[in-house]
Copies of this chain bind each other. A is one copy, B any other.
Amino acid sequence: MDSLKEKIINEGEAIGTEIVRVDGFLNHQIDVLFMEQLGKEFKKRFDNSGATKILTVEASGILVAGMTAKEFGNVPLVFAKKNAPNTMAEGFYQADVKSFTKGTVSTVRVAEKYLNSNDKVLIIDDFLAHGEAAIGLASLVEQAGGQVVGIGAVIEKEFQGGSRKLREKGYKVDSLAVIAKIENGIIEFR
Residues of B within 8 A of A76 (CB): 29-32
Q: CB of A36 within 8 A of chain B? A: yes
Extra inter-chain contacts (7) besides given A28-B114, A35-B66, CB under 8 Å: A23-B87, A23-B111, A28-B78, A28-B110, A30-B79, A32-B66, A32-B70
A interface bracket (residues with beta carbon within 8 Å of B)? 35 or more
Q: Which 5 A-B pairs have the closest CB atoms?
A: A58-B59, A59-B59, A32-B69, A63-B66, A30-B77
Q: How many subunits of this chain does the assembly comprise?
A: 2
User: Which B residues lie within 8 Å of A87 (CB)?
Assistant: 15, 19, 21, 23, 27
Chain B's closest residue to A69 (CB) is B32
Residue of B nearest to A70 (CB): B32
Give the distance in Å from the alpha carbon of A26 to the alpha carbon of B58 in the complex: 13
Q: Is A33 an interface residue (CB 8 A)?
A: yes
Q: How far is the CA of A29 from the CA of B67 in the complex (A)?
A: 14
Chain B residues, Cβ within 8 Å of A62: 59, 62-63
